Amino acid sequence: MEGFPADYVVLGDGTATFGALVDALARGNRPDVCGVVTYQEFARPGGVRSQGLSPQISRQQPHLSLQPRRELVAGYQDRYFHSFYKPVRLMRFSVGCPYRCDFCVLWKTTGGRYLTRGVADVVRELVAIPAENTYVVDDEAFIDADRMLALAQAIQATGYRTRFHMYCRADTAARRPDVVRAWADIGLDSVLVGAESFADETLANYRKRATVRDFRRAMEVFHEAGIKVRANFIVHQEFDASDFGAVLKGVLEYEVDIPSFAVLTPLPGTDLYNRVAHLIGGADPETFDCYHSVLPTRLPPSEFYERFAGLLETCAARSGGSGPGVFYRSSPTALSAMLAAIRSIPKSQPATVH
Ligand code: SF4
């Protein structure tokens, strides 16, 4: 659609919906598919919304069934990358999450259900093709620690090797260092931890059900196992200069290998969105990207975004160019482009200071 970045938007879980959309388009039909809206419908003021569970998720029993047709994209495989992992193959061992974080849309997408694939099913897909890097896109792979231990042992028995990047909650790692070590032994190279904040009160407000103490212990467990930690922190609209400083201090103190930062964004469908929707107005859907703030900031926007960019810049400078430093390393110019884009936001967005 000329002038728009997309023709259609798939709302919620798209595993089955996307296939139905492609089928309809291939037949030359205007898609009449549950969970699909045109970009114009999506982008009009008040048009951003979530829908109920996709039929696929509603029907699934506790076990997830996935058979990706990788042969269809084999020609593109070498070009896929995720941050500094290139080439990379994506896999999914589970979907959903039993936790209920206030800002998170993932548990909403599956109606709070946590669906897992069987160990043999995962191993069969994993070993079918060689892959230098494997990014496991589970919302939280390690929820069932005993299952993950069994999976690590089954992979170990095949002798297959790849470099894994996976999501893991801090409290899970703190509770089960044995599982973390078992995954390190079969190639777990880095984890993504939703650290969010260095303040227990803020974590409780987000309904994170993990503490700063869990994070501290998790960092020890991961580092002892030789695993790099990408930790994400939320940049809250209430941040003042000292809050930005506290996040930087925590990143340095805990030696977070790859810090990443996201402005608190009330994604449609989340509990957070339902609480603050009246403050958002007709925000452009393009600004729900975790870099723009769609809510008013305590600091003037120019200072808020300058401090946000400065936080990234300082973290990136730590490594002296020898390591990832921050998450934005998909190309040599990715970080500078990101910083320039963040610093330019106040020019393109109406001032939303309170
Ligand atoms: S933020 Fe992570 S732990 Fe919290 S509900 Fe979402 S996926 Fe689960």
Ligand 1 site: residues with CB under 6 angstroms? 97, 99-101, 104, 106-107, 139-140, 169, 194
Q: What pLDDT was estimated at residue 1?
A: 46
Q: Where are the beta strands (DSSP E) in the chain?
A: 8-10, 36-38, 89-91, 94-95, 115-116, 133-136, 163-167, 188-196, 228-235, 258-263
- The predicted-structure confidence for 68-106, as pLDDT tens digits, reads as follows 888 888 899 999 988 888 899 999 999 999 999 999 999
Percentage of the residues of the chain whose pLDDT score is greater than 90: 61
Residue 26 CB burial class (10 angstroms; 0-12, 13-18, ≥19): exposed
**What values do phi and psi take at 195, rounded to 5?**
-75, -40
> Residue 118: which residues within 8 A CB-CB, separation 6 or more?
63
Q: What is the mean pLDDT of the chain?
A: 88
The larger pLDDT score, comparing residue 45 to residue 350, is at 45
Q: Of all protein residues, whose CA lies closest to atom 3 belonging to ligand 1?
A: 99
Q: What's the mean pLDDT in 179-191?
A: 97
Nearest CA to ligand 1 atom 6: 104
Residue 138 makes CB contacts below 8 A (sequence gap 6+) with 92, 93, 94, 95, 166, 167
Residue with tokens 């769609």: 294
Give the start-to-end residue ranges of the domains of the chain: 1-59, 62-348
Residue 104 alpha carbon, nearest atom of ligand 1: 6
Look at residue 40 in the predicted model and tell me its pLDDT. Answer: 81
CA–centroid distance, residue 3 to ligand 1 (Å) = 34
pTM: 0.89
Flag whether pLDDT at 323 surpasses 80. no
Answer for the pair 8, 18: CB distance below 8 angstroms, yes or no: no
CATH topology of domain 62-348: TIM Barrel (3.20.20)
CA of 14 relative to ligand 1 center, distance in Å: 19
pLDDT tens, residue by residue, 192-248: 999 999 999 999 999 999 999 999 999 999 999 999 999 999 999 999 999 999 999
